[in-house]
Amino acid sequence: MTQDLLIFEIWAPYAVFRRPETTTTALTYSIIPRSAAEGLVGAIIGLRFDETPHRLEKARIAVASQSPISKLPFSATYTDTKEIWPKIGMTLRPPRKSGSAESKRQVMFRTRVKMEFLRAPRYRIYFDDSEDTKEMLEERFRNHETAFTAYLGSSSMLANFDYIGRFNYTHIELANPSFVASVVPFFKKIPRISLEQDVTFAVEQGLPIHMTSGRELMGTYDAVYNPSGASLVVTGIEAERVQMSERDEIVVFLPTEVTPR
């Protein structure tokens, strides 16, 4: 991989990155996970759903939240369409005169589910991979086009994007407290955060690293971030210094695999 990366921002009125352990109540992660960022890049450059996990599994990706975390809870009604026509036939069939339990059975077509969405999310994505992949992605950005529809978590959450540019970066170790623009992933021990007045941080657990074409989860990580969308002061971690035109930014790449225990 070359030591330069592409930076772009993406936003939408709403987003949902559903937590897989939720059932009757569909909850969302508070920040975009790596697996969703992979799918987003794959959609822009034209990778099929089954191609993305293999083509981008080693890509270096960092994510920075550019907006305060805000969630909107509401209820939705789902209609069962898997076997709806046999059920419709059962419902419309005249009842048997015997009055058996089978003839009086009611068939339910709809289920009400509680959900939550992220409201007005905006993310800055830092992306590095092979030169061919970056050139394809950069061409899409310059023409402001995508191969497939870009969305944030759900096909109804259509997204817009803005290309920031291509910048060099170097690997560094944060021996002293430094402002980190991206979310900071970790596995076991939470990074050292320097607390300041009016600065808060939050921890998100169980974020997916990869999702296979069969929707199987391939590893998870935890991350610490500032829920207001600002930077955090962190020390004692490895990071990347991105040499931008106006000022440098320090980011941390999300993991590509689970670290050995």
27-74 confidence digits (pLDDT tens): 999 999 999 999 999 999 999 888 888 899 999 999 999 999 999 988
In a domain, 231, yes or no: yes
Q: Give the pLDDT score at 195.
A: 82
Q: What is the mean pLDDT of the chain?
A: 87
In a domain, 15, yes or no: yes
Helix H or strand E segment including 243: strand 238-243
In a domain, 62, yes or no: yes
In a domain, 106, yes or no: no
Q: Give the pLDDT score at 112.
A: 77
In a domain, 149, yes or no: yes
In a domain, 102, yes or no: no
Q: Give the pLDDT score at 104.
A: 45
- Which CATH number covers residue 205? 3.30.70.2660
In a domain, 96, yes or no: no
Q: Quick one: pLDDT band at residue 96, thresholds 50, 70, 90? A: low
Total of domains in the chain: 1
What single letter denotes the amino acid at residue 261? R
Tell me the per-residue pLDDT of 192-230, one tens digit each, with 9 for 90 and over: 998 877 788 999 999 999 887 777 788 899 999 999 999
Instruction: Return the percentage of the chain with pLDDT > 70, whole number.
Output: 86
Q: Would the pLDDT of 107 be above 80?
A: no
- Give the range of the structural domain holding residue 13, as residue numbers without chain letter: 4-74+113-251
Tell me the per-residue pLDDT of 126-163, one tens digit each, with 9 for 90 and over: 999 999 999 999 999 999 999 999 999 988 899 999 99
pTM of the model as a whole? 0.85
In a domain, 245, yes or no: yes
Question: Virtual CA dihedral for 191, 238, 217, 114, nearest 10 degrees?
Answer: 40
DSSP letter string, 29-83: -SS--HHHHHHHHHHHHT--TTTHHHHSTT-EEEEEE-S---EEEEEEEEE--TT
152 vs 10: CA distance, rounded Å: 9
Calculate mean pLDDT across residues 113-124.
92
42 vs 133: CA distance, rounded Å: 10
